[in-house]
């Protein structure tokens, strides 16, 4: 077990921000022979408990493979939410971070939702404390409150809309067309990208993802010179200096599609490198290059991999099924209140499937549109 320490930004109700410290415990990687035995044990337990595994693209490759091989899913947070809600299994095991387990429980209160490690969280969630956020909303009652999925159930309970990076652009664009002003939380980079694309009036919370915030524009420029034909794929939680160099800006699913459908041989990818596991499986033969974090001479804080996603391991999956520990609970009335903003998003997505299919390519350098 390795303990990782890092800093994140936390805002308060007045709009002021401060730096806080957080930690994550990353389990040791099992030896190759042990991995096979662990996977077999996990498969047997999933079958024994009638459970289905719902895994995020950023978690360990063995967990992604287990989900694929046992009838579960590997997906982004939007698809994870829909899959867990619609699947018949009475036990969902969510491999990801805490807000993903909470969203599954909010949508399926009668199901048992387990997680390999309940302390796997997210800097965006930590940086947006519910009481401070509620006071901030109270100070701006004229704005529609739109929160990113990466927030606690209590923050969602205060929101009008939840969005994921797959549908954020379409939903904020829709609100803007209706003349609504938006209070956006918590990711400042994603918010700035959406504001630039839609022209919406958005008051921003000051939060950031500790992984994507580390990608650096200058280093990316240098890397692009070494790979002039590479396509640059960027998650919009990245800083503007990185997003402006992208050929495609999109959610994890949209970036995966860009690699699978793309005609280029090389791809520079600015998102968590856990994503490379599925990209390599679905687009073998294409060269994937990690976008640089923090410069070659700096001490890398994130190394482009989320320390909380790294807390998910096959050992944890086995333990939660064997012991029943790691169960997510969301108290009422928080659950019912949070359900409102999630259901609103899911209804919008169901009614507007084309909105998700559109490539998000606002700052597209090669296609020349702004």
**Site residues (vs ligand SF4, CB under 6 A):** 58, 97, 122-124, 150, 209-211, 272, 306, 308-309
* Host H or E run for residue 70: none
Phi then psi dihedrals of residue 183, to 5 deg: -105, 115
The CA–CA distances, whole Å, from 16 to 128, 141, 142, 143, 237 equal: 12, 19, 21, 19, 21
Residue among 49 and 76 whose Cβ is closer to ligand SF4: 76
Exposed e or buried b per residue across 74-95, where buried means at least 16 C-beta atoms within 10 angstroms of its C-beta: bbbbbbbbbbbbebebebbbbb
Name the E strands within 107-257.
112-114, 144-148, 161-163, 182-185, 202-204, 231-234, 248-249
Provide the 3-class DSSP secondary structure of residue 14: coil
CB 207 within 8 A of CB 9: yes
- For residue 205, give both structure tokens: 């919370």
Neighbouring residues of 322: CB distance < 8 A, sequence distance ≥ 6: 45
Q: Tell me how far, at minimum, the Cβ of 151 lies from ligand SF4, in Å.
A: 10
Q: Which is nearer to ligand SF4, 133 or 308 (CB)?
A: 308
Task: Please name which of 97, 65, 8 lies closest in space to residue 309, comparing C-alpha atoms.
Answer: 97
Nearest approach, Cβ of residue 208 and ligand SF4 (Å): 8
**Minimum CB separation from ligand SF4 for residue 124, in Å?**
5
Shortest distance, position 122 Cβ to ligand SF4, whole Å: 3
Residue closer to ligand SF4, measured from CB, 74 or 89: 74
Least spacing, CB of residue 113 vs ligand SF4, in Å = 17
Least distance between ligand SF4 and beta carbon 110 (Å): 27
Residue placing its CB nearer to ligand SF4 in the complex, 49 or 316: 316
Sequence-separated (6 or more) residues with CB below 8 Å from residue 330: 102, 105, 106, 109, 153, 338
Q: Least distance from C-beta 97 to ligand SF4, angstroms?
A: 4
For ligand SF4, give the closer residue by CB, 258 or 309: 309
**Radius of gyration in angstroms for the set of CA atoms belonging to the chain, rounded to a whole number:** 20
Complex with ligand SF4: residue 230 or 306, whichever CB lies closer: 306
Of the pair 210, 234, the CB lying nearest ligand SF4 is at 210
């Amino acid at each position: 077990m390795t303990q990782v320490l890092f800093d994140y930004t936390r805002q308060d109700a007045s709009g002021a921000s401060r730096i806080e410290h957080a930690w994550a415990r990353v389990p040791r990687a099992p030896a190759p022979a042990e991995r096979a035995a662990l996977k077999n044990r996990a498969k047997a337990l999933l079958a024994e408990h009638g459970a289905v595994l719902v895994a995020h693209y950023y978690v360990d490759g063995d967990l992604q493979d287990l989900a694929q091989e046992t009838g579960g899913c590997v997906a982004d947070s939007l698809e994870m939410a829909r899959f867990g809600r619609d699947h018949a299994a009475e036990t969902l095991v969510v491999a990801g971070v805490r807000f993903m387990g909470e969203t599954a429980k909010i949508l399926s209160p009668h199901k048992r939702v387990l997680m390999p490690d309940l302390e796997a969280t997210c800097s965006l969630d930590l940086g947006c404390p519910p009481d401070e956020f509620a006071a901030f909303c109270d100070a701006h009652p004229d704005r529609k409150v739109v929160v990113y999925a990466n927030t606690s159930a209590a923050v969602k309970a205060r929101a009008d809309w939840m969005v994921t990076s797959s549908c954020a652009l379409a939903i904020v664009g829709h609100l803007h067309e209706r003349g609504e002003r938006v209070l956006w939380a918590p990711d400042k980079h994603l918010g700035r990208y959406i504001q630039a694309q839609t022209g919406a009036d958005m008051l921003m919370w000051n939060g950031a993802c500790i992984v994507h915030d580390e990608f650096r524009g200058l280093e990316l420029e240098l890397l692009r010179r070494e790979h002039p034909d590479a396509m640059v794929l960027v998650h919009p939680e990245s800083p503007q200096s990185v997003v402006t160099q992208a050929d495609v800006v999109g959610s994890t699913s949209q970036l995966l599609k860009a690699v699978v459908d793309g005609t280029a041989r090389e791809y520079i990818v600015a998102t968590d490198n856990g994503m490379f596991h599925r990209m390599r499986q679905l687009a073998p033969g294409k060269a994937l290059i990690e976008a640089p974090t923090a410069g070659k001479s700096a001490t890398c804080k994130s190394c482009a991999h989320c320390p909380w996603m790294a807390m998910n391991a096959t050992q944890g999956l086995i333990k939660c099924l064997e012991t029943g520990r790691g169960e997510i609970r969301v108290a009422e009335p928080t659950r019912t209140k949070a359900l409102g903003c999630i259901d609103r998003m899911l209804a919008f997505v169901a009614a507007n499937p084309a909105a998700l299919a559109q490539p998000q390519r606002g700052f597209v350098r090669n296609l020349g549109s702004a």
